[in-house]
Structure 1
Amino acid sequence: MNPLLYQVNTRVLLYERGVELGRPATLDDVPNDFLDDIAARGFDWVWMLGVWQTGEAARAVSSANAEWAVEYHEALSDFTPDDVTGSPFAIVDYGVHRDFGGDVALAGLRARLSERGLKLLLDFVPNHTALDHPWLVDAPQRYVGGTEDDLAAQPQNYFRVGDHVVAHGRDPYFDGWPDTAQLNYRHPDLRAAMTAELARVAARCDGVRCDMAMLLEPEVFTATWGDRSVPADGTPAADAPFWPDAIAAVRAQHPGFVLMAEVYWDLEWQLQQHGFDYTYDKRLYDRLRSGDAAAVRGHLAADPDFQARSARFLENHDEPRAAATFPDPAEHQAAAVVTFLCTGLRFLHEGQLEGRRVKAPLHLRRRPDEPRDPVLAGFYDRLLGVLADPVLRDGHWQLLQVSPAWEGNASHDSYVVAGWSVDADSPLRWLVAVNLSDQQAQCRVVLATVLGAGETVHLVDRMHDDTAYDRDVADTVAHGLFLDLAPHGYNVFDLS
């Protein structure tokens, strides 16, 4: 199964809905028409980002941060301080935000999604909590502490809670996130508490996206925090990986629960082995941004199980809008064809389908008005229509080899070509070819072992007005399928 996931910024959705209604909106007010449209487009999952309870501390930090304020004004020409809500990842409690209708409203939304065959994905933020989380007072041993010297030398990385100094959450390469407090995964009490929190979340949805999941890996955590993470109360430090036991415990209560990890630094395979169903594939995204077809092919040649458990995207709430990253519509479309007609989870972000270009900061409740891009909107409509084919959802994907179209022509190196069949032993049913370069390019696709029997192979390009071609099977097997594509051109052929 290669599922389709649609990400929604809950705060923005409810703010815009509230403007329509003339009153604050809750999850009960998410329109059925909105859910119907997501289901009709073929999505399997809806990720409602940012439903959990946040507090005033995060909002105060977001309001006072001068660097973030620059982003607010860049995103909203009419920005006002009332637009600041604070980060949805500075969580006070894994209860649904009071402003959104609480747990009852979430249960109602989940039921409405289920009626349409849609599953609900929510956030789990394992690395840190908000600055006003009750554990900071009630269970301070669950946090990474610091000294007065740490606070004096690194005020950007530490803060005071009563008579304690506590670390801000961070990764090893940057200063701390000033609206967060760092949890201590070397303390067994914290591990038990976070396993219970994950189970609590799992009771209210079908899956979670785990924020910065690799920060909990023992080698990363110890490298970041060192001796500061040794439990100060004399409890023996826990140094085994957290995720395998936590995932097993949650699945014992909720069989079939799905976990997706935000993960970088070549730790994707490691987290898959810990039990994650899907892991972010930022490597593919980065290679597509560089336009390096050879690097894309090399990445897609990795272990098939790794490929099938990769989450592919062109944008999300952390990355710039795809329409801004790939301002040339042809380049955008070529990258999207590679990304979403590959095996794995296909992950699309709200606004991407309409060609939005402004990345709205997550600290804000609203985004700017933007016109719909008819070219990109039409492209994504066609792409989602193609992705409805069962072979592209449940079939067998493979990377195909290409060769020079003629001696001395090296432009075949610009191609990424893949095929889909019903299963590994069946003939090819779809062929996807993309020229990732900014030059006209030619190639021959090696099809000697994957074409079905018959005299003629019929190819219909489902992304280009069903343009059809007939090719002799014997000649195609002997010499390969000749392709000649414009810069950033692509074919999505339905074969029979």
Structure 2
Amino acid sequence: MTSVYEINTWPWLAELGKQSLADVPGEVWDELIGFDAVWLMGVWERSPAGRAIAESNDGLRQEMKNALPDLSGKDIVGSPYCVRRYEVDQRLGGPDALKEARAQLKKRNLRLILDYVPNHVAPDHPAITEHPDWFINGTREDLENDPDSWFAAGDRVIARGKDPFFPPWPDVAQLNAFHPGLRQATLDTLKAITDQCDGVRCDMAMLMFNDIFARTWGDRTGPRPAEEFWPSIIAALPDKTFIAEAYWDTEWELQQQGFDLCYDKRLYDRLAHEDADAVRAHLTAGLDYQNKLIRFIENHDEPRAATAIPGDRGRAAAVAIATLPGATLWHDGQFDGRRVKLPVFLGRYPDEPVDEGLRDFYDRLVVFNDAREWRLLDTPDVLAWTWEGATTRHLIVINFGPDQIWTRVRLPWPSAGEQWRLTDLLDGRVFGRDGDELEAGGLVVGLPAWGFHVLEVHR
């Protein structure tokens, strides 16, 4: 299992009182020991044109004001997904500062993950003028009829970036996934990015599928390629980890196209809104699929977990993702119970009190990082699974519901004639059980609403 810690780089540095990644104190990097990788979100050069659009957009400005009531102009630094150049922003210290940060992470056995945005770039990206054919092009009539979807770039009309289900994003230009020059430029850019890191998180990766791209843009794309966008690109960078932001049940196809990990957004939705049966059904998928999912209950795109999945339900959800197969994604501020979802345009966090009880819970939460055999148990009313290693056994039981419950859990290990000891790794309680009774009737478990056990099993 891989655990990734996401940092929103600009406001994180501001909160540390630092202006460069090279100046982060060693003790701050030390706090990340125990994770496998750190995703420094938003290190690339942000667009002045994109920033101006954000400042002048009433809806975006109100969203920023809601997050920072004392908002000032200097807080608006531009979107990290409106990339002007894939060079480390000088306001974060530039390439040398990132090199130093990576060295500090490597000293602590931490890998570095950076972003790539395949679908769009900033409206002032150099390619707009140097390679306008890499973009979806329109006509003056398009611009006159629908200025929210198109913008003028010299003698060209360029589409604003979008996905097929929402209005265009106002601050970005739409790349043409079918253009062979764009595909080669993507590979060249990713080679340069991966020279600076150990893996890449690819934004909205499924937008580049041939079918999805053709449905979104129709005959404006030019000839449809015979090959999909991702396979040859990923194959050319075999030693790097590729993480796909994935929606619309495209995870399996992204895995087949070469991605090492894909967002498990469906599990997030079920943990936030559905019941134990829905979660259990989700977990019956094959391990060849589940082992390449990255689970989360918070990231920079979602509402803060403290508000979206509050209280005991949120803790039960956190226990689930921490003990499932696949990878886990954790978000800076999640462990402290931050409640304000920060718009990506902002370079400063609001002041928020730390939820000490939640912080203590996360300090005790066990994440299984070593290779083990995972098994989902067919147990009514609760979520239950086991991990087994060469010398260790663990049982996880979660009452993912609002009512107290009693049930029996059938352990997958022979138990007759043994005395069993089960230690809860979250609260230290120890339970002794007779193996003959376990063999005959299973382990009797009683849990309060949203209660859980993470049990180390000995005999």
TM-score, structure 2 normalization: 0.97
Instruction: State the AA in 2 paired with 1:456.
Output: Q
**In structure 2, how many angstroms separate the alpha carbons of the residues matched to 1:280 and 1:350?**
17
Report what 2:374 is aligned to.
397
| 2:342 corresponding residue in structure 1 | 360
| Contact residue 210 and residue 224 of structure 2 kept, 8 A | no
Percentage of pairs with the same residue: 44
Structure 1 residues 190 and 490, CA gap change in structure 2 (3 angstroms): same
Q: Is it true that 1:444 corresponds to 2:408 in the alignment?
A: yes
Give 1:168-207 correspondences, 5 Å limit. Answer: 168-207=160-199
Deviation at 1:82, TM superposition (A): 1.8
Residues 383-440 of structure 1 show CA distances to partners (whole Å, capped at 9, x for unaligned) of 0xx32x6xx53211111111xxxxxxxxx42x111110016xx8x7111111111011
One-letter code aligned to 2:237: V
**Equivalent residues of 1:260, 1:276 under 8 A apart:** yes
Asked if the contact 1:291–1:437 (Cα under 8 Å) also holds between the matched residues in 2, the reply is no
Partner Cα separation in structure 2 for residue 456 and residue 475 of structure 1: 10
Cα distance between partner residues in 1 of 2:317 and 2:28:
27
CA contact (8 A) 1:457 1:472 kept: yes
CA–CA distance in 2 between the matches of 1:291 and 1:460? 30
Q: Give the drift of 1:451.
A: 4.2
1:97-108 paired onto structure 2 within 5 Å: 97-108=89-100
Q: Which amino acid in the other structure matches residue 445 of structure 1?
A: V
Distance 1:242 1:177 in 2: 22
Structure-2 residue corresponding to 1:405: none
Alignment-mate amino acid for residue 399 of structure 1: L
Structure 1 residues 250-399: aligned runs within 5 Å: 250-251=237-238, 255=239, 257-328=240-311, 330-383=312-365, 386-387=366-367, 393-399=370-376
* Deviation for aligned residue 1:63: 0.6
**Partners of 1:243 and 1:33 in 2: how far apart?**
38
Output the CA distance in 2 between the equivalents of 1:239 and 1:181: 25
Q: CA deviation at 1:454?
A: 4.9
Do the aligned residues in 2 keep the contact of 1:463 with 1:491 (CA within 8 Å)? yes
Amino acid at match of 2:442: G
1:38 match: 32
Corresponding residue for residue 386 of structure 2: 419
Contact 1:127–1:169 (8 Å) recurs in 2: yes
Could you tell me how far 1:237 is from its partner in structure 2? 4.0
Amino acid at match of 1:431: L
Q: Distance in 2 between matches of 1:116 and 1:452?
A: 41
Contact 2:415 2:436 in 1 (8 A): no
RMSD: 1.4
Where structure 1 has 5 or more consecutive residues not aligned to the other structure, the ranges are 231-235, 403-411
1:146 aligns to 2:138 (yes or no): yes
| CA drift at 1:249 | 1.2
Match of 2:444 in 1: 482
- Cα separation, 2, equivalents of 1:301 and 1:73: 43
Tell me how far apart the structure 1 counterparts of residues 232 and 435 of structure 2 sit (CA, whole Å).
53
Q: Aligned match of 2:22 in 17, 28, 45?
A: 28
Partner of 2:229: 242
* CA shift for structure 1 position 222: 0.3
Shift in Å at residue 322 of structure 1? Answer: 0.5
- Poorly superposed stretches of 4+, deviation over 3 Å: 451-454
Q: How many aligned positions are there?
A: 458
Q: TM-score, normalised by structure 1?
A: 0.90
> How do residues 65-80 of structure 1 correspond to structure 2 at under 5 angstroms?
65-80=57-72
